[in-house]
Amino acid sequence: MPKDQQPDSQEMAWHALPLQGVLEHLEADEGGLSSETARQRLARHGPNRLTPARRRGALRRFLAQFHNILIYLLVAAACVTAALAHWVDTGVILGVVVINAIIGFVQEGRAERALDAIRDLLSPKAGVLRNERRTTLPAEELVPGDIVLLQPGDKVPADLRLLSVRNLHVEEAALTGESVPVAKQTEAVEEGSALGDRRSMAFSGTLVSSGHAKGVVVATGDATQIGRISALLGEVTTLETPLLVQMDRFGRWLSAAIVVLAGLLFTFGTLIRSYPPADMFLGAVGLAVAAIPEGLPAIITITLAVGVQAMARRQAIIRLLPAVETLGSVTVIYSDKTGTLTRNEMTVASVITTEASFDVGGSGYDPHGGFSVQHRPVAPEDTPILQEVARAGLLCNDASLEAVEGEWRLEGDPTEGALITLARKAGLEPALESEELPRTDAIPFESEHRFMATLHHDHAGHAFVLVKGAPERILAMCSRQRRTGEDEALDPDFWHRQADRIAANGQRILALAFGTAAPGEHELQFAEVETGLTLLGLVGMLDPPREEAIRSVTECRRAGIRVKMITGDHAATARAVGEQLGIGDGGTVLAGSAIDDLSPEELQHAAWEVDVFARVSPEHKLHLVEALQMGGQVAAMTGDGVNDAPALKRANVGIAMGQKGTEVAKEAAEMVLGDDNFASIAAAIREGRTVYDNIRKSILFILPTNGGEALTILAAILLGRELPITPVQILWVNMITAVTLGLSLAFEPTEPGVMRRPPRNPKEPILSGFLVFRIALVSVILVGGTFGLFLWERLQGASLPLAQTVAVNTLVAFEVFYLLNTRRIHDRLRSTDDLFGNRYVLYAVAAVIAFQLLFTYAPTLQHLFGTVAIGPTTWTRILSVAVTVFVLVEAEKAVRQRLGPG
């Protein structure tokens, strides 16, 4: 067995081994494996694909959706209505149960789809050396020790240790978070290097953007870095949202209270009042029907659905309904940097010459932007040395940049795209410059020599060389530096200081140089560029922050939400971008290597105190999210890469980028941003807070109705009176009028100041002490008015059906007036907009009036519900009593505001 296939082979530091040591360890050579050896290894280690996750069957997944206390209550209510032969209501209740189950069943498959999306990242074909001959094989047939050949456009088919490279750049953003393609090399790197620094490796699922290479397979399938992420994703458990946790707790409390109260009532009636057991059983059933809020789950679901539609209009697509409400309780947002907080478009921000340090305006590939020195504008046409630097960057360049439908599209390396934009800002036209100074030869960039050089001729026959590359490499190739008037001897110390200063601002640095060549020379040799060049200057580049992201970060902080940046970039870059965004304020940056050394307690402290994290791995992102959650925080995480998927799934709200995000990230997340705009997150949080407010309003509206009904029945039995409302009439109120009115609250607009208050405590019960008081107060008002008017009618000689009809209409009228109170939980209603600003409230009130007129006067409904017609005088009494709830609740608000929060 090759030594690489020991159980811990995926942990071996292949990037740190010399090439010969890698080949010896794998029992391989650069001519490739024999077919027989490859067959044996494939049989021993299996195909190069990710192991499918074990899944529950569809039936088990569907049945699991019913394991919820509120569902049990609804099923119990359906059984009660069926026992009463009220089949319409039975059908409505069971319909709600089935719809909820279907929604949960459909949504539960997202984790499996995320794993499938990861599997789809693997390359279908691979160029391989077998039996010392090149052949193309299905990537599934690769085994450790195979020699793989890479070329531009290839998807890397397995984890490779690179044996030879020529100008190889690999796009690793989806795996490491690097914002630009990574230049690769064959030299070993340090064993403890972060994933993004393992330049001697090419990882499965990444994309070759330029160059060619040969590498040996060191890991396949589950042992690759992609495989490790897939395993992490499979192990991550999705947390329940705060709303689901609270509703489950509330449902258990409510169900226990209903059972106990019904039992006590049955015992009291039979033992104390000597009612027949059969009558008391019906009374207990009536109490249970009255107390169960049958319509509440439907109202919550519809309120969440309304929030989903509102968010979709703001480019925030919700994949899981409860995530809408969870957004309202988010306390921390972990945001990926590249493409989320930044534009993912490299931009030259500074140009350093011997004469000045120029700041460059504008961002991205849009060529609008000027130059300044110490905040004073500078015209590039009046600064020849600046134009020389820009021209060198434009001509020593293999990229192209063009405007397509108003957007600038880049073909090639982002760094070279930034240099083309710099040239345009300096007034240079790429096509004209290439025509006047055509290229005749080039030395492409390779990681071994770390520079690119091009040979040009002008139309007068002069030949010259332009070179760009790593500053330390270019400085070693230069003997002089450009200055207007006459060049001078190179001052290396000056340039090193300038390079350090630019790097401290988080900018990537390139040096540009110039040299002459013999007029008749048309081929460029290494010897001609390695010495004697003249340094033109340095350029500093960065991936600029989105302007709207800066504003959104400020808005989130004002709303009491901590925004933290997490990136695969280096610490200096992360700190600089964080400062521009208002994240971290230039404080501590924690690197992934340091995270490994922290204890669980230290990690929990760092996850809260540190705002910028650099050079992190997928495991680090996951551990940071878990550490925050251990501290009681509600964490959201944004991301677009494969490396983000485990943390996206674990986060309370995973937020994936819709345009630049991988399918893996989208499937693992609860929310997808259609415009990749961080600003949409703030809008989604605002909507999430509104949704939670509206759910509380719905609960605050519905529960007093149930409380009033239950107390009315309880009072009647305790006083030995007839039931003011029958069980069938209770179902009418609960499922027709209460739900119709309660649904209108789902459309309540956002209240003022919603983003100026801190996130709600996720541990706070959905029914606070204040809400319990309000529910109790309104329940007492409802039972006093409803039962009182019922008794008054009976004392006046009214028949039992007439008195019950009055009681039902009184209860519904109470609901209509109380609905207006509920539009503002704390604030008094001061204007007509406060009363009638939600047109859906008016629609609901009109619908309920129509329902009650049918309930009272339609012969068919009179027969079904035992009602009789009532006259205008009776309606006047009903409305006079019902309006008291509006007056008393507004008075309670006024007293509470006068007393203050305490």
| Contact by Cβ (8 Å): 621, 668 | no
Q: What Rg do the C-alpha atoms of the chain give, in angstroms?
A: 36
Q: What does each C-alpha distance from 455 to 423, 442, 490, 603 come to in angstroms?
A: 19, 6, 23, 53
List the catalytic residue out of 4, 89, 146, 336: 336
Other Cβ atoms within 10 Å of 660 Cβ, number = 17
- Asked if residues 110 and 668 have their Cβ atoms less than 8 Å apart, the reply is yes
Place of tokens 């970060």: 553
Q: Take residue 403 and report the two structure tokens written for it.
A: 């405007």
Q: What is the residue type of 223?
A: A
At 41, list the tokens.
């290894």
The Cα–Cα gap between 537 and 547 comes to 29
CB 704 within 8 A of CB 778: yes
Contact present, 238 and 629 (Cβ < 8 Å): no
Q: What CA–CA distance (Å, rounded) separates 335 from 647?
A: 11
* Contact of 676 with 688, CB cutoff 8 Å: no
Residue 91: strand, helix, or coil = helix
How far apart are alpha carbons 607 and 280 in whole angstroms? 59
Q: What is the C-alpha end-to-end distance of the chain, expressed in Å? A: 74
Counting beta carbons within 10 angstroms of the beta carbon of residue 7, is it exposed (0 to 12), middle (13 to 18) or buried (19 or more)?
Answer: exposed
679: how many CB neighbours lie within 10 A of its CB? Answer: 20
Is 336 noted as a catalytic residue in this protein?
yes
How far apart (Å, rounded) are the C-alpha atoms in residues 709 and 814? 12
Count of Cβ atoms closer than 10 Å to residue 601 Cβ: 10
Supply φ then ψ for residue 387, to 5 degrees.
-65, -30
**Alpha-carbon distance 898 to 902, whole Å?**
10
Phi, then psi, of 451 in degrees rounded to 5 = -155, 165
Q: Which two tokens stand for residue 880?
A: 């006079």
Total Cβ atoms within 10 A of residue 614? 26
Coil/strand/helix, residue 220: coil
Q: Look at the alpha carbons of 609, 613, 616, 619 in this order and tell me if their dihedral is positive or negative.
A: positive
| Nearest alpha carbon to residue 177 among 620, 666, 653 | 620
Query: Is residue 637 within 8 Å of residue 625, measured between CB atoms?
Result: yes
CA distance 181 to 544: 17
Residue 350 to residue 335: CA distance in whole angstroms? 27
Cβ atoms < 10 Å from Cβ of 774: 23
Angle CA 351–354–360, to nearest 5: 15
User: Do the beta carbons of residue 617 and residue 195 sit within 8 Å?
Assistant: yes
Among candidates 424, 416, 423, which has minimal Cα distance to 400? 416
Contact criterion met (CB below 8 Å) for 666 and 672: yes
Angle at 732 between CA 727 and CA 738, to 5 degrees: 120
Alpha helices in 745-838 (DSSP H): 769-795, 800-822, 832-836
Task: Copy the structure tokens of residue 620.
Answer: 């680090």
- How many CB atoms are located within 10 Å of the residue 219 CB? 26
Q: How far apart are CA 330 and CA 670, in angstroms?
A: 13
Catalytic residue positions, numbered: 336
